[in-house]
Amino acid sequence: MSEGDRDPDQRPSSSSVGKRTRLNAGRIALILVGTVAVVAFTLYATIVLYGLIKGS
């Protein structure tokens, strides 16, 4: 395949745009996981505190 046959819209994954896209996707995934963890912990703590208060 000659250089002229390549699709100009496709960039190699090692390009700065590809790296930036993967970095942004990683950040979004990390934010989502962190958010779910915080919500789950808050719910757990609320249930435990409610149980302790009701149990007394």
Going residue by residue through the chain, which has 56 residues, state the pLDDT in tens, using 9 for 90 and above: 555 566 666 655 577 877 888 889 899 999 999 999 999 999 999 999 999 999 87
Q: How far is CA 26 from the centre of its chain?
A: 5
**One-letter identity of residue 28:** I
**Rounded distance between C-alpha atoms, residue 55 and residue 53, angstroms:** 5
Q: Which of 39, 11, 32, 9 is nearest to 24 (CA)?
A: 32
Per the CB < 8 A criterion, the answer to whether 21 and 29 are in contact is: no
- What confidence score (pLDDT) does residue 27 get? 93
